[in-house]
Amino acid sequence: MKKVAVLGATGAVGREMIRILEERAFPLSELKLLASAGSVGKTIPFRGEEIPVEEAGPEAFAGCDIVLGAAQNPVAKRFAPDIVKAGAVFVDNSSAFRLDANVPLIVPEINPEDVKWHEGILSNPNCSTIITAVGVNAIHRLSPIKSMVVSTYQAASGAGQGGLIELEEQMKALAENKPFAPHAFRYQLACNLIPEIGSPAFEDYTTEEMKMQNEGRKILHAPELTVTCTCVRVPVMRSHSISATIRLERPVTVEEARAAVASAPGCRLVDDLAQHQYPMPLDTSDQDLVFVGRIRKDLTCENGLTLFICGDQIRKGAATNTVQIAELL
């Protein structure tokens, strides 16, 4: 039985981690909830009790075995040395350590063996990268993926609790013909699409778009993988969607791909166009399976397939994957 702490416990992902620890009956003896000073005094329910939130500080990790990180990069970087010094393993959901050569980047359905070489820190990948990688991994095992062309359709939940609140308020204001100003997003999201997530990074690709290639290489053990990606914020409350065209080393038939996805851990095949069955964000919200469908031949490449993938960004894209990594430990 482990003593587990959640760093950033009061945010959307932190609260979901706590819920999932209870839901999956994680074997812990004590749960410690850590956040900023402004959250001290709040309580969060867990296993029939109200657990008080404590202030995160260098001494807060004493006696902990595992610390689940649900805080932003600066907080993760600030406390990582304290966590490791305390003898705990830091399973971090931020992007602070994802591309560090000494830190495993884990999706348990894909590369669980990488947990073995951690040095006190384990990293949880980007949400869209997790969902995409789970969706394509079974096909990647049939024939290695050489390149991907990806478009992500990312829900308001990707911007945290503030994004969810803002989209809800904007939709209400539009319905009541009331004015509003965007805050969580650069532009109005309701009834709109915003083709920019992250900051400029490389050749006019954003940081969010480059994660699909850079993190994908590490997770899939495919160092030569190339990805061109466009990330779009869409007026959906929860669950990200991804359109992916994958180019393989050898041809894989649609039938082979469907069979592989249907038997892949963490996946559900939803693919019957004649019956209007395909992945949608509403169907994948508040659960952990990645839905895969619309599998068809790429008409521009002999060795290509095109597919559509949906998964819950808060759960499998963040909180659940982090808890699954802790379960591997």
The answer to whether residues 92 and 142 belong to one domain is no
Question: How do residues 29-46 score in pLDDT, each as one tens digit?
Answer: 999 999 999 999 899 999
- The one catalytic residue among 127, 229, 231, 267: 127
For residue 160, is pLDDT > 90? Answer: no
Work out whether strand 240-248 and strand 145-154 pair parallel, antiparallel, or are unpaired: antiparallel
Q: Which residue spans within the chain are E strands per DSSP?
A: 2-7, 28-35, 43-46, 49-55, 66-69, 89-92, 121-123, 145-154, 200-202, 205-206, 226-233, 240-248, 267-269, 290-297, 304-311
Strand partners, 310: 241, 291
The answer to whether residues 101 and 13 belong to one domain is yes
Strand partners, 258: none
Question: How do residues 69-118 score in pLDDT, each as one tens digit?
Answer: 999 999 999 999 999 999 999 999 999 999 999 999 999 999 999 999 99
The answer to whether residues 217 and 148 belong to one domain is yes
Which range of residues forms the domain containing residue 116? 2-126+319-328
The answer to whether residues 62 and 169 belong to one domain is no
Question: How do residues 264-285 score in pLDDT, each as one tens digit?
Answer: 999 999 999 999 999 999 999 9
The mean pLDDT value for 182-202 works out to: 97
Give pTM, 2 decimals. Answer: 0.96
The answer to whether residues 106 and 163 belong to one domain is no
Q: Is 221 a catalytic residue?
A: no
The answer to whether residues 80 and 24 belong to one domain is yes
- The one catalytic residue among 140, 229, 231, 240: 240
Q: Is 140 a catalytic residue?
A: no
The answer to whether residues 266 and 286 belong to one domain is yes
Q: What is the CATH number of the domain that holds 218?
A: 3.30.360.10
